[in-house]
Structure 1
Amino acid sequence: MRVIFMGTPEFAVPSLCALADTFEVALVITRPDAVRGRGKRLEPSPVKAEAVSRGIEVIEANRMTPEVLDAMRAVSADIICVAAYGCILPDAVLEMAPLGCVNVHASLLPRWRGAAPVQRAILAGDERAGVSIMQVVSALDAGAYCAQASCEVGDMTSAELMAKIGELGADALIESLHGIEAGTVAWTEQDESLVTYAHKIEKAEMKLDPADGALENARRVQASSDAAPARCAVAGKGVRIMRAVTCEDMRPAAGAVEVSHGRVALGCADGAIEVISVKPDGKREMEASAWAAGLRGDDIAWERV
Structure 2
Amino acid sequence: MRLVFAGTPMAAVPTLRRLAAEHDVAAVVTRPDAPLGRRRVLTPSPVAQVAEELGLPIIKAARLDDEATAAVTALHAELGVIVAYGGLVREPLLSAPAHGWINLHFSLLPQWRGAAPVQRALIAGDAELGASVFQLVPALDAGDVFAMRVVDVAEDATADAALETLAVDGAQLTAEVVAAIADGTARAIPQTGEPTLAPKLTLEDGLLDWHQPVEQVFARFRGVTPEPGAHTTIDGVRVKVLEASPSTEDPREPGEIAATKNALLFGTATRPLAVTRVQPAGKGAMSAVDWWRGQRAPEGLRAGA
Q: Give the structure-1-normalised TM-score.
A: 0.93
**For structure 2, which runs of at least 5 residues remain unmatched after alignment?**
none
Work out whether 1:210 is the aligned partner of 2:207.
Answer: no
Q: Deviations over 1:95-141 (max 9, x none)?
A: 11112210010101111111110011101101121110110001100
For 1:104, the equivalent position in structure 2 comes to: 104
Pair 1:48–1:116, CA change in 2 (3 A): same
State the identity as a percent: 34
Aligned counterparts, 1:24-39, within 5 A: 24-39=24-39
Mapping for residues 1-305 of structure 1, pairs under 5 Å: 1-153=1-153, 154-191=155-192, 193-234=193-234, 236-294=236-294, 296=296, 299=299, 301-304=301-304
- By how many angstroms is 1:224 displaced? 1.4
Q: Mean Cα displacement is larger for which, 245-254 or 181-190?
A: 245-254
Deviations 1:184-234 (A, max 9, x none): 11212101x321111221211211133333222212211114542111133
For normalisation by structure 2, the TM-score amounts to: 0.93
Contact 1:35 1:43 in 2 (8 A): yes
Any conservation in 2 of the 1:263–1:292 contact (CA below 8 Å)?
Answer: no
**Distance 1:39-1:155 versus aligned 2 partners, 3 A rule:** farther
Q: After the TM superposition, which of the residue ranges 272-281 and 283-292 deviates more from structure 2? A: 283-292
Out of 290-299 and 210-219, give the one that drifted further: 290-299
Specify every segment of 5 or more residues in structure 1 that has no aligned partner in the other structure, as ranges.
none
Counterpart code for 1:104: L
Q: CA deviation at 1:39?
A: 3.9
Kindly indicate whether the alpha-carbon contact (under 8 Å) linking 1:250 and 1:265 is maintained by their aligned counterparts in 2: no
Q: CA RMSD in A?
A: 1.9
Contact 1:7 1:84 (C-alpha < 8 Å) held by counterparts: yes
When structure 1 is superposed on structure 2, of 24-33 and 254-263 the one drifting more is 254-263
Question: 8 Å contact 1:209–1:303 — kept in the other structure?
Answer: no
Quick one: distance in 2 between partners of 1:209 and 1:18? 41
Q: Number of residue pairs matched?
A: 304
